[in-house]
Chain A
Amino acid sequence: MQFMLLFSRQGKLRLQKWYVPLSDKEKKKITRELVQTVLARKPKMCSFLEWRDLKIVYKRYASLYFCCAIEDQDNELITLEIIHRYVELLDKYFGSVCELDIIFNFEKAYFILDEFLLGGEVQETSKKNVLKAIEQADLLQEKTEAMYHSKSFIGSKKAY
């Protein structure tokens, strides 16, 4: 896989992961082009398209598009399920995940992705194993945070 992009129906990029070295300018150009291309497609259309010399596999979950660029010999259907497994992982971790979870907890979205995919290849497909790694880290974090904070910030999202 060369890169993965998450963007909203309004075309806002929510998460980007690049597995090939590209300049910022190129990244921006690719993102702009792809977001436009994918958003222009109608709902019932197929999830794959040729783009430059890559294959794009995308799927929409509610307001978010998950979009992967793979190479010619890569398998489209399994990539579609990579997307789904990632959504499942996010969903399990966040309860029932929504776009705002990914905005506010972007770092978690990245950590989960890194446990699942590394260097553009699937590293661990077991949901249990991926989440175990993330949850261990959270335990560590809560411990340290408790040291800093007597007061809890729980509920602050309600203000939004």
Chain B
Amino acid sequence: MGACFGQCLGASVGYSLATRSACDGPGVFRGRWTCRILGKSKEAEIKRINKELANIRSKFKGDKALDGYSKKKYVCKLLFIFLLGHDIDFGHMEAVNLLSSNRYTEKQIGYLFISVLVNSNSELIRLINNAVKNDLASRNPSFMGLALHCIANVGSREMAEAFAADVPRILVAGDTMDSVKQSAALCLLRLYRTSPDLVPMGDWTSRVVHLLNDQHLGVVTAATSLITTLAQKNPEEFKTSVSLAVSRLSRIVTSASTDLQDYTYYFVPAPWLSVKLLRLLQCYPPPDPAVRGRLTECLETILNKAQEPPKSKKVQHSNAKNAVLFEAISLIIHHDSEPNLLVRACNQLGQFLQHRETNLRYLALESMCTLASSEFSHEAVKTHIETVINALKTERDVSVRQRAVDLLYAMCDRSNAQQIVAEMLSYLETADYSIREEIVLKVAILAEKYAVDYTWYVDTILNLIRIAGDYVSEEVWYRVIQIVINRDDVQGYAAKTVFEALQAPACHENLVKVGGYILGEFGNLIAGDPRSSPLIQFDLLHSKFHLCGAPTRALLLSTYIKFVNLFPEVKTTIQDVLRSDSQLRNADVELQQRAVEYLRLSTVASTDILATVLEEMPPFPERESSILAKLKKKKGPSTVMDLEEAKRERGSDVNGGPEPAPAGASAASTPSPSADLLGLGAAPPVPAGPPPSSGGLLVDVFSDSPSAVAPLAPGSEDNFARFVCKNNGVLFENQLLQIGLKSEFRQNLGRMFIFYGNKTSTQFLHFTPTLICSDDLQASLSLQTKPVDPTVDGGAQVQQAVNIECVSDFAEAPVLNIQFRYGGTFQNVSVKLPITLNKFFQPTEMASQDFFQRWKQLSSPQQEVQSIFRAKHPMDTEITKAKIIGFGSALLEEVDPNPANFVGAGIIHTKTTQIGCLLRLEPNLQAQMYRLTLRTSKESVSQRLCELLSEQF
């Protein structure tokens, strides 16, 4: 068959066309001018086409009304021109006119033009809908077919509005022809994908399920696709499809290859339908025992057939047969309940790993990845490790090697981690550039996760940098520093190893960064050895200084000042370096500032102060590895995460794996290596990479937002602050999406409505907003919400209600993560959701005397928190008052002896307790400063309220 295509397109083009011209029949009327267009130079083609377009335009505009045939001819020419890649901006009306022709072929061309050229939000939709409506009602099956194809091809919301009610009726009507039923089923499927809200379930659903029993296999095929999609969203309604699908499948797999006549494809009975039925079953858990037995038989039969000798040597036979087999294996993995089937599936895939067909090797590697996450088959998958490693070394196709890397990653556990990491490292030396970064991430994750001995971990990461330094992202080297800082058993080894690695004449800049950081923190641990005395360490680092970019140099300067603290004997050497013109007068502001500040610090500060300022970094809070987050982001949300989670459940993750951040860990309380190492403030983050990526990465690595989701959207903090004193407004907006909020709070309860607006004309698919709270926050703030519809139509808005209960006082804010598909791309947005402690304020009015009495009662140092800050906004009395009221407390007039001051009182309600709060705000107009004092019975409450309110003025 394929060869046929080949022959006539190869050497014998002329021959093949000449001999066949007699049967060309329809379509030939276009022959002459299309020939004139094709085969000419680009300019000539454009010239010819413009001429033709002018001709068609004049025909359409001409006084003489065109007959249907000519109209069809010209519309068809326009289509042809469009398909050659030229823009067409007229002819739509003529095409729409053709729809109402009584001649099938004119109608057909009209519909084709519409389906190719009219996009879903065209103004013509109303006219088109009219014509479609007439054809649907015509009872002429050919016309109905065309109309249904048109609805399915355009698939716009307007079409859904117009026909969502008609199509199901046609689908289940007793007198509908089979071919029309097929079109109606898939047409409905398309409408449901576009606008599920417009396709309500109803009486027709049960009748649709029974189409699985239809005599006509074409009808069953189309219906199965529809049912699968509907069942994913409405599993209850379509439950009965399970047993019907199993019995249908059973009849197919046991039939002889000739039973199904034209539905047998290269000796495989109904492969498309079989695959679809197996897909449908993957929407459900394993069925009841009775049905389950029959299904198991089917699956066994499919596995058995794979072992039989092929009935044909044609690749189509084996493809069709294996398509069913792979789908059956997917179902087995989905059920994950029959150890026997899982192991058989694994063995079957093992055979494919060495098959001569590249396609099968590829799919076997891919499918085994999911098998590796099942506890029943994980061990069986591991037995193929040598084959997979071999694939990594010998496969000629990079996409297959990529699958091999994925599988090695998936099958890795403590028992084989060393081998797999070593193999991946050695593959990395020759790996394709396109997949290096991913391999680096995977090696870094595995090395961390399965490290029994952290010296191995340090060696592995340094090897990574040596082999593929350019592909080692910031996350990776940040992570190695985090780990070294958090584990004192490895610090000395790390210092020694980086020191040795830095001796290489040419080493990667990332190594200089890691080396600079680690020696700055732990260089003292190896300074006792005369071969790595302080001066030698310094000289070694400084010999790299001039070869590095500004961010690395900045980091090294910080290392130098740390050396001044660690090793007083090199102080003068370092001061000389800092004092040199190339530092003090450096054109780079950041470097210059560091040199000036560090030089000054080293001169004026006493040893004690120096030691305090340059104290060793405190441990980092344990949290999910930011590298893992990056890998997840790279691979899309589904695959990696599932594997990880499955593995975690299995408990093989000895190193604890991702952990939530501990209590009170906020970015401010945990100095990060990227923030100024000295905490001197003014300087921007140190090892920031190139500007476009640095912001996001830094947030990703060091913020406490859960790293599996996108970093907080830019401006999110500002927006968050705006909501502290108000409850309604727009929280977030970009080109695609707008998020609005409306909320009300009473005592310790609240309700918030989140409105998601699709600003585009295209649907958002798989729209999933998720509220993420750290464990701590979860304990003090309970949020309940229902999932929203996963499809958001262009221009539409969906709302989600969140019920809120404040259990005890809290300081963090939940993160709202939104993931969806827009067009072909995956979107991921995170914003902080402004549910803050002050929302649970109830104002309390009181007289001056009462206020001061209580004020005095709350006078212990833990109860008072004070903040003095500069005004960020004009100091307007009325606005300030409004803000204090918006903040939730009562504004007490004539209480403070100084009328310029503001005084407030209220009670924070939580489920467990009530906390009285008093506040006082003293503006100083001359200095443009405020002093804010909060006194409450609980320190953490005073602290949090002060933080929140001081951001408002």
Q: Which residues of A are at the interface with B, using a C-beta cutoff of 8 A?
A: 2, 13-16, 19-24, 26, 30, 42, 44-50, 52-54, 61-64, 72-73, 75-78, 80-82, 84-85, 87-88, 91, 94-100, 103-108, 110-111, 114, 118-129, 133, 136-138, 140-142, 144-145, 148, 153-160
Contact = CB atoms under 8 A, between A and B. Distances in A.
Given A91-B5, A119-B186, A21 B120 contact: yes
B311 to A, nearest CB: 15
Contact of A91 (B1, B108, B182, B186): B1
A24 B118 CA distance: 10
Given A96-B8, A157-B24, A21 B155 contact: yes
Contact of A128 (B28, B35, B262, B327): B262
A160 B21 CA distance: 11
Contact of A87 (B5, B105, B149, B273): B5
B105 A53 contact: no
Contact of B823 (A26, A104, A128): A26
B250 interface: no
A77 B31 contact: no
Contacts of B189: 119, 121
Given A44-B396, A126-B263, A140-B105, 7 more contacts: A23-B823, A77-B326, A78-B324, A80-B323, A123-B182, A126-B218, A157-B35
B822 to A, nearest CB: 10
A157 B28 contact: yes
Given A52-B825, A62-B5, A122-B221, A137 B17 contact: no
B638 interface: yes
B222 A123 contact: yes
9 contacts: A76-B326, A77-B363, A82-B272, A87-B2, A105-B26, A106-B79, A106-B80, A133-B179, A148-B69
A148 B639 CA distance: 60
Q: Is the interface of B mostly helix, strand, loop or mixed?
A: helix
Contacts of A107: 27, 76, 79, 108-109, 112
A46 B397 contact: yes
Interface residues of B, number: 108
Contacts of A44: 358, 396-397
The 4 closest A-B pairs by CB, nearest first: A77-B323, A62-B9, A119-B190, A78-B323
B267 to A, nearest CB: 13
Contacts of A110: 112, 115-116
Contacts of A100: 13, 17
A140 B24 CA distance: 16
Given A13-B85, A78-B320, A114-B153, A98 B9 contact: yes
Given A114-B149, A122-B221, A136 B142 contact: yes
B934 interface: no
Contacts of B706: none
B218 A77 contact: no
Nearest to A110: B112
Contacts of A121: 186, 189, 222, 225
A33 B396 CA distance: 23
B27 A104 contact: yes
Contacts of B105: 137, 140-141, 144
A91 B31 CA distance: 20
B397 A81 contact: no
Interface string B3-27: 0111111100100111011111111
B707 interface: no
Contact of A47 (B30, B120, B359, B636): B359
B83 interface: yes
B263 A63 contact: no
